[in-house]
Chain A
Amino acid sequence: MSDAIRNSKGMSDTPEEREFELRAHIGSIWSGGRLFIGMYTFLFASLAFSYFYLRSSNNGLLWRPDHVTAPTSFGWSIYSLMLLTALMAVYGQRRLRRGAVTDFQLAGWIGVCAGLAALFLQLWDYTAVPFYPGSSGYASTFIGFTVLNIATIIAGTYWLETTLARSLRLRKELGGVKPELSMHPSAQSFRANVASMAYFWGFLALASTLLFAMFYLL
């Protein structure tokens, strides 16, 4: 997300113009993060619509024969790990805002590990699912949910990991100045990116709660 900063080289001839470019760039990260959440909202809404549509249709009484449920131990574990990642992302961002970059990095790496563990469990879950994918409406939507969840975990963890990697390298680029303190455009861009990432993970925590309730509790 730093193209605009990078491309500003040699163009913004005045301080006002540079400030304008930087503010536009940071605004783009902010609105880009919200647009990304909007996209994901409609993606999850499509899944939720499919779930409730098939559930209410109950064609051939095959929505959920014998109230079969996906393995709840996997479900709880994956859900907990996603919540942990979200918690770490939000906590890390708050600590970064207060100037504690080490806390951010520590929380972030815990979050990345939790995300990778959730990914691993989501894949392992396929070996333990007690139904054939096409055996019922519930089974189908559950498989759809897992595929979307895998994509979501990869996207969210990637975003978190890239901010951590950037924080490590940025300090070197800023000549040892902590990125949480610097007013350098790269540091401001970095902080805006972290804030958007944490906001996205907050959204994922909420969405995961709703989807978990749909597939494991209802």
Chain B
Amino acid sequence: MTLSAERPHEVEKESFVPPASNAVSRRRGGGWLSQHVGTAIVAGFLGYLLGHWLGNYISSGYPVVTNTGQNSIADLMALIFMVVGWLAGIGALNYPLAKLVGREAKDDVELTGWSKYFRFNLDHKVVGLQYVLGVLLFLFTGGLLAMAIRTELLNPTTHVFSADTYIKIVSEHGTIMMMMASSVVIGPLGNYFVPLMIGARRMAFPRIEAFSLWVFLAGYMVIFSALPFGGFPTGWTGYAPLQTQAGPGMVSYLFGFFVIGLGMMAAGFNLAATIINYRAPGMTWSRVPVFVWSILATAALLTLATPVLVAGGLFGLLDKTVQTAFYVTEHGGSSYLWQNLFWFFGHPEVYIMALPGFGIVGEIIPVFCRKPLFAYRIAAAGMIGVALLSFFVWQHHLFQSGIDPDMRPLFMLTTELISIPTGFIFLVGMGTLYRAKIRFEVPMLFCMAVYFNFLIGGVSGVFLSDVPVNVTVHGGFFVLSHFHYTIMGGLIFAFMAGLYFWLPKMTGRVMNKRLGLWHFWTMFVFFNLTFFPMFIIGLLGQPRRVFTYAKNLQTLNDFSSISAFLLGASFLIFFANLMWSQFINPKKSPANPWESLGLEWQTATPIPPHNFDRIPVIMTDPYHYSEAGAPALADFGDDDFVHTSSGSTTSGDGSA
């Protein structure tokens, strides 16, 4: 970081341009005959057919296939070829193949208009918006399945679904939502805003970033394919031996996690490399925005924890296809092995979901409190602490199953320990709110809701970490309520806060405030009315994943179900707001509608293709709200651009 704080002299461009003769022809910008999502769908479909045929050709004579009537090899090969076809169809494989002959890709034709959102695009801002659509697709699919679950639970004796169908709906809902939640912030907001927040013009590895998106979407198709395959009956955790006994839908589950895992690793890898290397001059670690800290901690978890899920999924697929016995106790394997591998990933996964939410809230509340972020360094340290400790707690998921009872106190202790850095992060928020003159705009309301919800989710988590309580309420609605409070109450509310806060920057259009308020209040009220009764339902003994229950719990269940329907309706308000504000009746947003000091707001809207005309030189952190004499945020190489301590932007002569 030796770029001087004094602006360098302009010189004539000496850009490096690879010779066109050696460049790869990507056939980009050639209209609808070039590679885009349509060709990806066609290639994916053809790949599916080819893979299925090949799988049947190879293995239809195997005894295990003829005896069971199930050909998991054909099912898996169909899915593998579908994903490869999808990636080839979108153009993700062009560059890796060209590298085999030493070629570098030539410059893409810069696409304008809508078509760029349906292609393999290397602009992190386009990828971020593509991710928004992707995660909303996951969210709404999972949400519809949740409505089906609550419909079934309206009555303990009159059933809409069979027990078998019900558990498959629950499993699909849980898996889709977990996959969505692992990318819901890091995909859309992380990819879009990290380079802007650190003063970078690009990602470190834009192709890997785009690859992560298209693999993520492939993962959606794979996991959704479980339904036509007959679903899977294991819940989102996929426990063996049920996993081993399940039908072909289980292949979709295992391969779906495998594929999503690849995307998660790619996303984490790229973001970590970007944050480490592409911070603008002057952006020392003590000036990095707290949202970027959260993404860095998350990226580390994605990079290191997800390979364990990928390996676990691979072993499960080998069990289903070539008849290994990793998870088959009767043949020298162990069903507990899956639990260990799954939760070694699965508990860091909880923080993969939670940390970006904390980051968003930490980034937003100083803007609406007009106060510096309280104890910034503690917030950053808390995030790193949570990330490190999250690798040492996974065994608390096995308190009731495959753990030596003598080991329980150790993992109870580590689990309780992790509440300390989590508490730091929470207290940083409280310290910032303390005696602040809060502006209750829609993003801020969502942030306040995160603190309210996460307090309930977090405190119930501390209870659950204690062995006696854990043993008592294990497998019941109490646990279900706890993790919905942390993940939906924490992460999804934070995601909504982030969307309302940053959409004006992303699209240049402001969201309708009235509809936003309706969305917030309905979502907040009905979220709590849906999930808080589940603590009571759980304490009264209702188990998860069972489609019937004791008659005396019907009133509470009905209350919860009706609230859930209204909670679902609140998302329709959000959807209506999105359509209305962005497409039907768009209103241009002011350049910096919240008067934020964040670096991402200091560049033009719409954001130029390369983010900053000049690489900014960072002077301080972006949280000096209401501080008299606070230093300017950054030197943008434009002499008359100065940032005042109040957060407003004035020209150099002092005029507003």
Interface residues of A (CB under 8 A from B): 1-21, 24-25, 27-28, 31-32, 35-36, 38-40, 42-43, 45-47, 49-50, 53-54, 57-60, 62-64, 132-141, 143-144, 147-148, 158, 161-162, 164-170, 172-173, 184-186
Chain B: which residue is nearest A165 at the CB level? Answer: B102
B244 to chain A, nearest CB (A): 10
Chain B: which residue is nearest A61 at the CB level? Answer: B332
Task: Please name 11 further chain A to chain B contacts, defined as beta carbons within 8 Å, in addition to the given A13-B10, A28-B204, A35-B272, sorted by A numbering.
Answer: A6-B16, A15-B8, A31-B273, A38-B304, A49-B344, A54-B332, A59-B330, A60-B331, A137-B333, A140-B315, A158-B96
Assembly CA distance A58 to B308 (angstroms): 22
Q: A165-B100, A186-B18 are in contact. Are A139 and B324 (CB under 8 A)?
A: yes
Q: Which 4 A-B pairs have the closest CB atoms?
A: A62-B332, A165-B102, A46-B311, A169-B102
B559 to chain A, nearest CB (A): 44
Q: A60-B332, A62-B331 are in contact. Are A17 and B16 (CB under 8 A)?
A: no
Measured between beta carbons, the chain A residues less than 8 angstroms from B17 are 9
How many residues on B have C-beta within 8 angstroms of the other chain's C-beta atoms?
75
Assembly CA distance A206 to B323 (angstroms): 30
Interface residues of B (CB under 8 A from A): 1-4, 8-11, 13-19, 22, 96, 99-105, 107, 122, 200-202, 204-207, 265, 269, 272-274, 276-278, 281, 303-308, 310-312, 314-315, 318-319, 322-326, 328-334, 336-337, 340-341, 344, 610, 614-615
Assembly CA distance A141 to B312 (angstroms): 12
Q: A31-B276, A35-B273 are in contact. Are A136 and B312 (CB under 8 A)?
A: no
Contact A54 B204, beta carbon cutoff 8 Å = no
Q: A13-B10, A50-B341 are in contact. Are A24 and B277 (CB under 8 A)?
A: yes
Assembly CA distance A162 to B308 (angstroms): 28
Measured between beta carbons, the chain B residues less than 8 angstroms from A185 are 16
Chain A: which residue is nearest B17 at the CB level? Answer: A9
Q: A35-B272, A50-B326, A140-B333 are in contact. Are A9 and B15 (CB under 8 A)?
A: yes
Chain A: which residue is nearest B280 at the CB level? Answer: A20
Chain B: which residue is nearest A167 at the CB level? Answer: B102
A113 to chain B, nearest CB (A): 15
A47 to chain B, nearest CB (A): 6
Assembly CA distance A50 to B308 (angstroms): 11
Contact A60 B330, beta carbon cutoff 8 Å = yes
27 sampled A-B residue pairs with Cβ under 8 A: A2-B104, A3-B202, A15-B14, A16-B2, A32-B204, A32-B205, A36-B269, A39-B265, A39-B303, A53-B334, A54-B337, A58-B332, A59-B332, A59-B334, A60-B330, A133-B324, A137-B332, A139-B325, A140-B319, A140-B325, A143-B322, A143-B324, A158-B96, A164-B102, A169-B22, A170-B102, A172-B22
A92 to chain B, nearest CB (A): 16
Measured between beta carbons, the chain B residues less than 8 angstroms from A39 are 265, 269, 303-304, 306-307
Contact B311 A43, beta carbon cutoff 8 Å = yes
Chain B: which residue is nearest A40 at the CB level? Answer: B307
Measured between beta carbons, the chain A residues less than 8 angstroms from B200 are 24
Measured between beta carbons, the chain A residues less than 8 angstroms from B100 are 158, 161-162, 165
Chain B: which residue is nearest A140 at the CB level? Answer: B324
Contact B277 A57, beta carbon cutoff 8 Å = no
Contact B276 A173, beta carbon cutoff 8 Å = no
Chain A: which residue is nearest B265 at the CB level? Answer: A39
Assembly CA distance A115 to B13 (angstroms): 43
Assembly CA distance A88 to B4 (angstroms): 41
Residue among A10, A19, A50 with max Cβ neighbours from chain B (10 Å): A50
Assembly CA distance A57 to B333 (angstroms): 8
Contact A28 B277, beta carbon cutoff 8 Å = yes
Chain B: which residue is nearest A33 at the CB level? Answer: B273
Measured between beta carbons, the chain A residues less than 8 angstroms from B322 are 133, 143
Q: A3-B207, A144-B324 are in contact. Are A134 and B331 (CB under 8 A)?
A: yes
Assembly CA distance A88 to B253 (angstroms): 41
A2 to chain B, nearest CB (A): 5
Assembly CA distance A20 to B5 (angstroms): 13
A194 to chain B, nearest CB (A): 13
Contact A6 B333, beta carbon cutoff 8 Å = no
Assembly CA distance A39 to B99 (angstroms): 22
B66 to chain A, nearest CB (A): 17
Assembly CA distance A60 to B201 (angstroms): 59
B87 to chain A, nearest CB (A): 16
Measured between beta carbons, the chain A residues less than 8 angstroms from B103 are 169
Measured between beta carbons, the chain B residues less than 8 angstroms from A132 are 323
Chain B: which residue is nearest A2 at the CB level? Answer: B104
Contact A6 B304, beta carbon cutoff 8 Å = no
Contact B274 A28, beta carbon cutoff 8 Å = yes
Assembly CA distance A64 to B322 (angstroms): 19
A17 interface neighbour in B96, B101, B265, B614, Cβ under 8 Å: B614
Contact A53 B340, beta carbon cutoff 8 Å = yes
Assembly CA distance A14 to B102 (angstroms): 29
Assembly CA distance A24 to B13 (angstroms): 19
Assembly CA distance A30 to B436 (angstroms): 44
Contact A20 B276, beta carbon cutoff 8 Å = no
Assembly CA distance A43 to B206 (angstroms): 24
Chain A: which residue is nearest B64 at the CB level? Answer: A134
Contact B13 A13, beta carbon cutoff 8 Å = yes
Assembly CA distance A154 to B418 (angstroms): 39
Measured between beta carbons, the chain A residues less than 8 angstroms from B1 are 20
Assembly CA distance A164 to B101 (angstroms): 9
Measured between beta carbons, the chain B residues less than 8 angstroms from A170 are 102
Chain A: which residue is nearest B278 at the CB level? Answer: A24
A117 to chain B, nearest CB (A): 18
Residue among A9, A59, A62, A63 with max Cβ neighbours from chain B (10 Å): A59
Measured between beta carbons, the chain B residues less than 8 angstroms from A162 are 99-100, 102
Contact B277 A186, beta carbon cutoff 8 Å = no
Contact B16 A136, beta carbon cutoff 8 Å = no
Chain A: which residue is nearest B327 at the CB level? Answer: A140
Assembly CA distance A36 to B329 (angstroms): 33
Assembly CA distance A13 to B7 (angstroms): 12
B313 to chain A, nearest CB (A): 10
Measured between beta carbons, the chain B residues less than 8 angstroms from A139 are 324-325, 332
Q: A35-B273, A38-B303, A140-B325 are in contact. Are A28 and B334 (CB under 8 A)?
A: no
Contact A28 B278, beta carbon cutoff 8 Å = yes
Contact A27 B331, beta carbon cutoff 8 Å = no
Contact B13 A10, beta carbon cutoff 8 Å = yes
B576 to chain A, nearest CB (A): 38
Q: A3-B207, A13-B614, A134-B331 are in contact. Are A42 and B277 (CB under 8 A)?
A: no
Contact B11 A7, beta carbon cutoff 8 Å = no
Contact A24 B614, beta carbon cutoff 8 Å = no
Residue among B17, B314, B318, B337 with max Cβ neighbours from chain A (10 Å): B337
Contact A1 B324, beta carbon cutoff 8 Å = no
Measured between beta carbons, the chain A residues less than 8 angstroms from B278 are 24, 28
Contact A59 B304, beta carbon cutoff 8 Å = no
Assembly CA distance A121 to B200 (angstroms): 46
Measured between beta carbons, the chain B residues less than 8 angstroms from A16 are 2-4, 8
Measured between beta carbons, the chain B residues less than 8 angstroms from A161 are 100
Q: A6-B104, A32-B205, A53-B337 are in contact. Are A136 and B99 (CB under 8 A)?
A: no
A3 interface neighbour in B16, B206, B323, Cβ under 8 Å: B206
Chain B: which residue is nearest A142 at the CB level? Answer: B324
Chain A: which residue is nearest B12 at the CB level? Answer: A13
Contact A140 B326, beta carbon cutoff 8 Å = yes
A12 to chain B, nearest CB (A): 7
Measured between beta carbons, the chain B residues less than 8 angstroms from A168 are 102
Measured between beta carbons, the chain A residues less than 8 angstroms from B14 are 15, 18
A204 to chain B, nearest CB (A): 15
Assembly CA distance A58 to B334 (angstroms): 9
